[in-house]
Amino acid sequence: MTETAIEKVKRGLPGRYRAERRFRLMGMGALAVSGLFLLVLFSSIISNGWSAFYQTVIKLNVFIDPVRMDVGNLGSADYQGLIKASLRRDFPQVRSRRDKKRLYAIVSTGAAFQLRDMVMKDPSLIGKSVDLWVPADDDVDMYLKGSYHGKNRYGRLKPVQVMAIKRLKEEGRLRERFNTTFFTAGDSREPELAGIRGAVTGSFYTLLVTLLLSFPVGVAAAVYLEEFATPGRWSDLIEVNINNLAAVPSIVFGLLGLSIFLNFFHLPRSSPLVGGLVLTLMTLPTIIIASRAALKTVPPSIREAALGVGASRMQTVFHHVLPLALPGMLTGTIIGMAQALGETAPLLMIGMVAFVADIPHSITDPSAVLPVQIYLWADSPERAFVEKTSAAIMVLLAFLMAMNGTAVYFRKKFEHKW
């Protein structure tokens, strides 16, 4: 007897259902594996970086000896000598030249600058003894945070330094506090004095230049191509090239910036101005493509209605179509800015990899950006820069998540359902 079509379908249904369940399980497994990898990545970053938000400080009683002070030029006084004299008074049993040098090394070199700022702010302190909490050296900080284990549990610390640390701890003159230096200072060769303020400021100026250039140019290009350009060979060629530019490796834009903006126009090297110009070229295709997609979502009836009541083509686009497409354009722009914030390769090519300790105050000052700062710290040999690198990555990820969250908020808030 011949099998009917319905019987064939019924016979094949269990197999189709099993295949569908397998496919769904594979999809759930892929999501689980991706989530596991993200969890491992974030756990590694957080476990290495959370300790950078705390810093070990030492309390010293410093006598500001008038003999060492030049009242006419307080900035050039021997403040480092005053710090050393304080340590010698606290540990008189340390007598050899080598041990004294090691004793002095438990305090950061930034202590002298901290004391200088205090005296210059209040010269009446000259001739008095002051209690001063100063940052400990990075080796001391790493030791107290438990970063060294096993046979190397003291790291690079010597016995005289370990003795001094234990005594200071017993006397309550050694503690941990929130590391404000990490957020308020620029880069430094000393890990305990290094901060991200200079890099964050450089990133802000770079993204500001990128936004001011890429958003209006990208939106104008999208409006022209979508609303005014005549379909034909030239418009198709432009569209293909825009799509191709979106896939060009970012380092190519860095090479373009090096040859054009630096070597030809002689703009200041390592400046947010050049960095912003390079990132503008890189983000323009993303913004144009997103803006054109937003314009396409506006129903043709909007255009037809505006033209039907006598509006010109220009009025139709700028009074009706563009306001409705603007939320999608803003979303694409924010995503493009988030991509630019995380870029490193093109900025390395224009010299933003240089060591810059000062905080930039304009778009022409030399500066670094946060991803490049992370790259520099990751290449440093000091153990303390490992936690600094992870902490800076946490800050960068926070900025990226905030920008992407803002894009989602704009899309949800201003989304139109036709």
Distance CA 251, CA 241 (A): 18
| CA dihedral sign, ordered 169, 173, 176, 181 | negative
Indicate the burial class of 309 (C-beta count within 10 angstroms; 0-12, 13-18, 19 or more): exposed
- Dist CA 129 CA 83 (whole Å): 12
Q: Answer for the pair 65, 85: CB distance below 8 angstroms, yes or no.
A: yes
Chunked into runs of 10 residues, the chain (418 residues) has average pLDDT values of 68 83 93 93 89 93 84 80 92 91 92 91 89 92 84 84 92 92 91 92 93 93 88 83 85 89 89 93 91 89 87 88 88 88 86 84 91 90 88 92 84 69
| Residue 236, helix vs strand vs coil | helix
pLDDT tens, residue by residue, 204-216: 999 999 999 999 9
pTM equals 0.86
> Who's near 326: CB < 8 A, 6+ residues apart?
294, 414
What are the b/e assignments for 11-33, b being 16+ CB within 10 Å?
A: eeeeeeeeeeeeeeeeeeeeeee
Beta strands in 76-191 (DSSP E): 129-135, 174-178
Residues in a beta bridge with 319: none
- pLDDT at residue 167, as a whole number: 93
**DSSP character at residue 344:** -
Supply the pLDDT for residue 310: 86
In whole angstroms, what is the distance from residue 315 CA to residue 307 CA?
Answer: 9
Measure the CA–CA gap between 380 and 387, rounded to whole angstroms: 11
Amino acid at 20: E
Q: CB-based contacts of 379: which residues, under 8 Å, 6+ apart?
A: none
Query: What's the pLDDT at 8?
Result: 74
> What is the predicted pLDDT for the residue at 1?
46
Contacts of 94 (CB under 8 A, 6+ apart): 88, 100, 103, 160, 164
Query: What order do you get walking across the sheet with 174-178 strand by strand?
Result: 129-135, 54-63, 174-178
Task: Dihedral sign for Cα 329, 335, 336, 337, please.
Answer: positive
- Which domains, from first to last, does the chain contain? 56-177 (no CATH), 197-414 (1.10.3720.10)
Alpha helices in 353-383 (DSSP H): 370-378
Residue 206 in tokens: 């770079």
